[in-house]
């Protein structure tokens, strides 16, 4: 019996069948193929980088791709996770707070994701319990199999319908063997069974150790991790081996033998200068063609589109590698010990540096314990400064001192979210003479709360509910630097994640002191972009938004691009006039 013939009959939930596979309306068995990416040995090796790079290769062939990240934790989203534990929270345009890997997918594929592209165990179990309370299971006892795994398969097929995808890429967070991931793995095994031969391609990402004391690569940990995957009923078609150095032929042969994966599909994913080189490595290894063959979709490939995409990406890599000049940009934050906390900021600087033909060297400035009297010496060598997003009181005064230094010394400055709010506070204190200016977030009783929760937000209960999340339109002031950065556009769209704003009572006084609010919410008194006029500062710009979230390799974010241009001008000033960036 062809599995496709019976898929429509698998949705029953009664005692008459043990099958439970809800099928979304419009689902066409056989149209959408699936690529599942699993991790072994340890997490954090780059499943999202590999999956997004492989997805890009298929998109370049003219195929429609849709990724989804499946996380095992019970949180409904990533919004309350500490950056020290889980890296940055990436916010989608529809307001979903999700895993940082969604940022990798957006940047690599140059397409916006939605809440359909991200799921957690919390979401899965919440949906199941709601159905149970409604009586949707017709009196059945609700079990991990078939109901929980059925809910996972339903999410994947729903994404397939909503995106009209040729290929859905499924990344399972964590590693094989994690208790919370077992039902995800089982769901993919069932999916492959139900969809039939040629419907799925499974990839295992593993790690090849190279202990310094031994002086050679060791594959035993990789073998054992893959064995766990095999014991779960998943036979990988491709194995990607993370390592510091290229994985030797001997090790690849050993892994191929123990995993029953052809040698030419054991891929060395060793460290490179940029993640954007990985697609080129995948193409050279022929893995994209292997996936097309495994899934039987060669007839959907468009060679002309693939060649155009290859030329464009090769040009980007050529510019990335050709950069010789270096500018130094400081990032003053309190999560600097965990670089993933600022993953999107790092990539946005890389995008802009490549466009400007320079390498951006990031100087991490931990402000939590930095003495204020050391700020000038610590920042003296910088070509630019970023104060990124954050919450809470720790490190606030250090950030404000850094902003004051940038403002008074002509150091190019970009403030992001919290960096916007603190720039307002610094200006209010030191230019407008508002002693005691602060934010009710970290000083509820401050004399001048120039940053506060707007009245309409104070009535909202719940930590996440009061956040201003996702994409919002921003009206730009004509003739401002912000407007010039966006080629004169009267309105732009940015992504936000905050709950505090500039108190409207202080706007007139701040503007009278020389601060320019060049971006505002179209229909509300919400200030979203500020700047100093060019005669006062070469580049002093801040936004309440997170523009790093929408920067792409081929389309650098204008705020970051302006900062890097200003940093280049400061690094090599040709004339006094040239020290002011031309936007």
Among residues 402, 417, 432, 446, the one annotated as catalytic is: 417
Q: Are residues 283 and 335 in the same domain?
A: no
Among residues 86, 237, 498, 546, the one annotated as catalytic is: 546
Of 309, 269, 265, which Cα lies nearest the Cα of 287? 265
pLDDT score of 461 more than 90 = no
Q: Are residues 438 and 508 in the same domain?
A: yes
CATH number of the structural domain spanning residue 558? 3.40.50.880
Q: Is residue 25 part of a domain?
A: no
List pLDDT tens digits, range 250-276. 999 999 999 999 999 999 999 999 999
Q: How confident is the model at residue 51 (pLDDT cuts 50, 70, 90)?
A: very high
The answer to whether the CB of 301 falls within 8 A of the CB of 60 is: no
Helix (H) / strand (E) element for 406: namely helix 396-409
What residues does 171 pair with on adjacent strands? Answer: 37, 69
Q: Are residues 386 and 246 in the same domain?
A: no
Q: How confident is the model at residue 457 (pLDDT cuts 50, 70, 90)?
A: low
pLDDT score of 1 more than 60 = no
Instruction: Out of 270, 292, 315, pick the residue that ends a domain.
Output: 315
CA–CA dist 405, 420 (Å, integer): 15
Q: Are residues 279 and 174 in the same domain?
A: yes
Determine the 3-state secondary structure of 212 from DSSP.
coil
Please count the structural domains in the chain.
2
pLDDT-wise least confident of 138-142, 159-163, 354-358, 469-473: 138-142
Of 280, 279, 320, 207, which Cα lies nearest the Cα of 50? 279
The whole-chain average pLDDT of the chain stands at: 91
The answer to whether the CB of 329 falls within 8 A of the CB of 383 is: yes
Q: Are residues 90 and 159 in the same domain?
A: yes
Among residues 97, 186, 501, 548, the one annotated as catalytic is: 548
Q: Are residues 359 and 307 in the same domain?
A: no
Note if 350 is an active site residue. no
pLDDT score of 454 more than 70 = no
Q: Are residues 305 and 331 in the same domain?
A: no
Instruction: Out of 296, 315, 334, pick the residue that ends a domain.
Output: 315
The whole-number average pLDDT for the span 95-104 is: 94
List pLDDT tens digits, range 168-224. 999 999 999 899 999 999 999 999 999 999 999 999 999 999 988 888 899 999 999
The confidence score (pLDDT) of residue 251 equals 95
The whole-number average pLDDT for the span 527-535 is: 96
The confidence score (pLDDT) of residue 578 equals 44
Note if 548 is an active site residue. yes
Q: Are residues 350 and 485 in the same domain?
A: yes
The confidence score (pLDDT) of residue 577 equals 42
- Domain containing 402: what range? 324-579
Q: Quote the Cα angle for 68-69-74, to 5°.
A: 130
Q: In what order do the strands lie in the sheet with 33-39?
A: 118-120, 65-71, 167-172, 33-39, 200-207, 238-243, 266-270
Q: In what order do the strands lie in the sheet with 468-476?
A: 358-366, 325-333, 384-387, 413-416, 540-543, 527-531, 516-520, 468-476, 491-498
Q: Quote the Cα angle for 193-189-182, to 5°.
A: 160
Q: Is residue 23 part of a domain?
A: no
Q: Which residue has the higher pLDDT, 385 or 524?
A: 385
Q: Are residues 353 and 269 in the same domain?
A: no
CA 487, 491, 497, 503 dihedral sign is positive
Q: Is residue 396 part of a domain?
A: yes
Q: How confident is the model at residue 372 (pLDDT cuts 50, 70, 90)?
A: confident
pLDDT score of 319 more than 90 = yes
Q: Are residues 567 and 427 in the same domain?
A: yes
Q: Are residues 336 and 446 in the same domain?
A: yes
Dihedral over alpha carbons 384, 388, 392, 397 (to 10 degrees): 10
Note if 417 is an active site residue. yes
CA–CA dist 266, 258 (Å, integer): 12
Q: Is residue 263 part of a domain?
A: yes
pLDDT-wise least confident of 122-126, 140-144, 278-282: 140-144
List pLDDT tens digits, range 10-20. 555 556 677 77
pLDDT score of 436 more than 50 = yes
The percent of residues above 90 in pLDDT, for the chain, comes to 78
CA–CA dist 316, 360 (Å, integer): 16
CA–CA dist 335, 292 (Å, integer): 41
What residues does 240 pair with on adjacent strands? Answer: 205, 267
The whole-number average pLDDT for the span 46-56 is: 96
Q: Is residue 18 part of a domain?
A: no
Within 8 A by CB and 6+ apart from 477, the residues are 483, 516, 517, 518, 519, 520
Helix (H) / strand (E) element for 424: namely helix 418-430
The confidence score (pLDDT) of residue 11 equals 52
Give, rounded to a whole angstrom, the gap between the first and last alpha carbons of the chain. Answer: 65
Q: Is residue 259 part of a domain?
A: yes
b/e per residue 434-452 (b: at least 16 CB within 10 A): beebbbebbbeebebbbbb
Instruction: Out of 288, 315, 342, pick the residue that ends a domain.
Output: 315
Q: Are residues 335 and 394 in the same domain?
A: yes
List pLDDT tens digits, range 329-361. 999 987 666 677 899 999 999 999 999 999 999
Residue 41 tokens read as: 């040995």
Residue 260 tokens read as: 């029953």
CATH number of the structural domain spanning residue 44? 3.40.50.300
The confidence score (pLDDT) of residue 576 equals 42
The whole-number average pLDDT for the span 325-330 is: 96
Q: Is residue 24 part of a domain?
A: no
Q: Is residue 19 part of a domain?
A: no
């Amino acid at each position: 019996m062809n599995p496709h013939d019976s898929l429509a009959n698998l949705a029953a939930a009664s005692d008459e069948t043990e099958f439970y596979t809800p099928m979304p309306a419009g689902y066409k068995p056989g149209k959408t193929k699936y690529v599942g990416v699993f991790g072994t040995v340890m997490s954090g090796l780059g499943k999202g980088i590999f999956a997004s790079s492989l997805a890009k290769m298929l998109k370049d062939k003219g195929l429609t791709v849709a990724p989804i990240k499946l996380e095992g934790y019970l949180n409904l989203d990533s919004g309350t996770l500490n950056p020290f534990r889980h890296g940055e929270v990436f916010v989608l345009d529809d307001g979903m707070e999700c895993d940082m890997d969604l940022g990798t997918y957006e940047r690599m594929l140059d397409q916006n994701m939605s809440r359909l592209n991200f799921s957690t165990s919390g979401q899965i179990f919440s949906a199941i319990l709601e159905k149970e309370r409604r009586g949707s299971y017709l009196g059945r006892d609700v079990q991990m199999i078939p109901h929980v795994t059925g809910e996972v398969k339903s999410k994947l097929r729903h994404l397939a319908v909503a995106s009209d995808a040729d290929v859905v890429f499924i990344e399972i967070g964590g590693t094989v063997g994690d208790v919370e991931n077992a039902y995800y793995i089982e769901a993919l095994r069932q999916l492959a069974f139900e969809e039939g031969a040629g419907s799925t391609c499974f990839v295992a990402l593993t790690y090849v150790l190279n202990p310094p004391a031994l002086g050679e690569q060791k594959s035993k940990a990789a073998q054992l991790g893959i064995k766990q995957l095999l014991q779960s009923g998943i036979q990988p078609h491709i194995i990607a081996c993370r390592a510091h150095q290229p994985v030797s032929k001997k090790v690849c042969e050993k892994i191929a033998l123990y995993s029953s994966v052809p040698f030419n599909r054991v891929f060395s994913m060793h460290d490179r200068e940029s993640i954007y080189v990985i697609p080129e490595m995948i193409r050279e290894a022929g893995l994209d063609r292997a996936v097309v063959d495994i899934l039987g979709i060669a007839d959907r490939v468009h060679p002309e589109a693939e060649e155009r995409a290859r030329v464009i990406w090769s040009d980007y890599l050529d510019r990335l590698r050709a950069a010789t000049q270096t500018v130094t940009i400081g990032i003053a934050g309190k999560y600097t010990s965990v670089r993933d906390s600022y993953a999107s900021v790092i990539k946005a600087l890389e995008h802009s540096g490549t466009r400007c033909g320079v390498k951006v060297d990031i100087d991490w400035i931990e402000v939590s314990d930095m003495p204020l009297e050391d700020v000038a010496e610590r920042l003296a060598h910088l070509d630019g400064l970023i104060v990124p997003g954050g919450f809470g009181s720790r490190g606030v005064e250090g950030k404000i001192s850094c902003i004051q230094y940038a403002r008074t010394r002509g150091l190019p400055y970009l403030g992001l979210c919290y960096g916007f709010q603190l720039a307002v506070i610094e200006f209010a204190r030191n230019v407008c003479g508002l002693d005691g200016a602060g934010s009710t977030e970290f000083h509820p009783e401050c004399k001048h709360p120039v940053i506060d929760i707007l009245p309409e937000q104070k009535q909202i209960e719940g930590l996440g509910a009061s956040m201003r999340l996702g994409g919002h339109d921003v009206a730009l002031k004509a003739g401002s630097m912000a407007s010039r950065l966006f080629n004169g556009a009267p309105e732009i769209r940015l992504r936000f994640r905050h709950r505090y704003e500039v108190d409207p009572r202080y706007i007139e006084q701040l503007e009278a002191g020389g601060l320019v609010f060049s971006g505002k919410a179209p229909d509300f008194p919400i200030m979203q972009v500020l700047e100093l006029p060019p005669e006062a500062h070469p580049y002093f710009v801040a936004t309440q938004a997170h523009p790093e979230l929408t920067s792409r390799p081929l389309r650098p974010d204008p705020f970051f691009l302006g900062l890097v241009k200003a940093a280049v001008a400061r690094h090599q000033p040709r004339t006094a006039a040239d020290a002011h960036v031309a936007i």
